[in-house]
Amino acid sequence: MGAVVAAAALLTMPIAAVFLTVLVDADAKAAGLTGGGGLQNVPTEFQPWILKADAACPEPEMTPALLASQLFHESGFKTSRREATSWAGAQGPAQFIPGTWAVWGRDEDGNGSNSPWDIGDAVMAQGRMMCSLLKDAKSSGIGGDPRALALAGYNAGWAPVEKYGGVPPRSFANGETYDYVQEILRDIPRFEGPGLLQVAGSGAGPDALRRAAGRIGTPYSWGGGSPDGPTTGFCDGTNGYLNGSCSASVTVGFDCSSLVQYAYWPSLHLPRVASDQYGATSHRPVSRGDLKPGDLLFWSHGGAGSIYHVAVYAGDGNVLQAPRTGRNVEVQALTTAMPEGDYFGATRP
């Protein structure tokens, strides 16, 4: 969290295979840093928690790479008390001072200890605080990149952001906050991944995955999308809204089930809605241990009649999905794509 916040926070508080091709430099490989689930150059023990923290935040400005870059600049992913304790008393990989930890820290990993030294506890607290700061940034009326404002608030507290009407200048705190924000934003691409989804093999599953992969980066649009490609969607009183406005009606994109329908068309005419897609393919169930590229995965609030999300298995423990309003078609780890307890099952079209 940096030195500045230590003071400010106390005042303000032979089977077809799938390959994810990720560019990772030699130093990163030597240090045991790997790619996966939308990340690269991140220690494997941090990856699932970063992805979970990102998934828990509805703000579209939040990304796994933003959290990873911030962690790198906070602590270099260090977890030892010797390496991850600042002169100002900030602790752990996300550098929380005790007063701020009391607000944001929870026992996320279930080990009975609520600790800024536990990776899961620290990263989830970082995500919660950044998500709250992003909301503050967008509702504050202060112009500029909400990510920059949130990062400045994380480092120095929100009061200096309000005082200066943006990221504090170099004259504030010897430029620590200014440089902190600039360096984290600059290094986000270093942690973005996978860079390219390459699908090997042929057949219905790989062919569908390959077709869907061509739409990575397409915006999510509730009710949008067709077998021919992305379209604008609509709002239904509950879904399709972003920041109080109907985003779907002006966003050309896919929702989760239209992306799946598009992926398998025209060789297989799947229904339009996720629950109907399950009904049309449930005669070919697939266990989680036998997943193959192109299989469909479903999440439910309880039973086949309450299925609310569908994704395409992308191999290597990842899924390709259109996740929610404000996000884009992306590759994400299966374990964090949606709430783990809602996972209902998989089928093979």
Q: Both tokens of residue 143?
A: 């112009």
Q: Which residue has tokens 């942690």? A: 191
By mean pLDDT, which of 112-116, 212-216, 299-303, 336-340 is the weakest? 212-216
Residue linked to tokens 């902190």:
180
Q: Quickly list H helices, 107-255.
A: 119-139, 146-156, 158-164, 176-191, 204-213
Whole-number pLDDT of residue 2: 56
Rounded-to-integer distance, Cα 147 and Cα 151, Å: 6
The model's pLDDT over 310-325, given as tens digits with 9 standing for 90+, comes to 999 999 899 999 999 9
Radius of gyration in angstroms for the set of CA atoms belonging to the chain, rounded to a whole number:
21
The pLDDT assigned to 23 comes to 29
- Model pLDDT, residue 194: 54
At 300, the pLDDT band (50, 70, 90 cuts) reads very high
Question: What's the topology of domain 2-191?
Answer: Lysozyme (1.10.530)
The residue-averaged pLDDT of 132-136 equals 96
Residues of the chain with CATH 3.90.1720.10: 202-347
Q: Determine the pLDDT at residue 56.
A: 84
Lowest mean pLDDT of 49-63, 110-124, 214-228, name the range. 49-63
Instruction: Give the residue with greater pLDDT, 14 vs 43.
Output: 43
Q: Alpha-carbon distance 222 to 240, whole Å?
A: 5
Which pLDDT score is estimated for 90? 92
Q: Is 276 in contact with 261 (CB distance < 8 Å)?
A: no
Q: Where are the alpha helices (DSSP H) in the chain?
A: 2-12, 26-30, 47-55, 64-75, 98-104, 119-139, 146-156, 158-164, 176-191, 204-213, 256-264, 274-281, 334-337
3.30.365.10, 3.30.360.10, 3.90.1720.10, 3.90.650.10: which CATH number matches 202-347? 3.90.1720.10
Q: What is the mean pLDDT of residues 48-54?
A: 86
pTM of the model: 0.55
Euclidean distance between the first and the last CA atom of the chain, given in angstroms as a whole number: 48
- Which of these ranges, 18-27, 33-42, 80-89, has the smallest mean pLDDT? 18-27
On whether the CB atoms of residues 169 and 160 are closer than 8 A, the answer is: no
Strand partners, 309: 299
pLDDT for res 87: 87
Model confidence at 37: pLDDT above 50: no
Of residues 180 and 251, the one with the higher pLDDT is 180
Percentage of residues in the chain having pLDDT higher than 70: 88
CATH 1.10.530.10 domain range(s) in the chain: 2-191
> Average pLDDT in the 47-55 region?
85
Interacting residues of 92 by C-beta distance below 8 A, sequence separation 6+: 75, 79, 84, 115, 116, 117, 118, 122
Q: How far apart are CA 266 and CA 347, in angstroms?
A: 19
Residue 212: count other Cβ atoms within 10 Å of its Cβ. 26
pLDDT computed for residue 303 by the predictor:
93
**pLDDT over threshold 70, residue 249:** yes
330: which strand partners? 321
Give the long-range contacts of residues 96-103, CB within 8 A, separation 24 or more: 96/1, 96/122, 96/125, 97/1, 97/5, 97/6, 97/9, 97/10, 99/9, 99/10, 99/13, 100/1, 100/5, 100/9, 100/13, 100/129, 101/125, 103/13, 103/129
Report CA dihedral (306, 299, 247, 253) to the nearest 10 degrees: -120
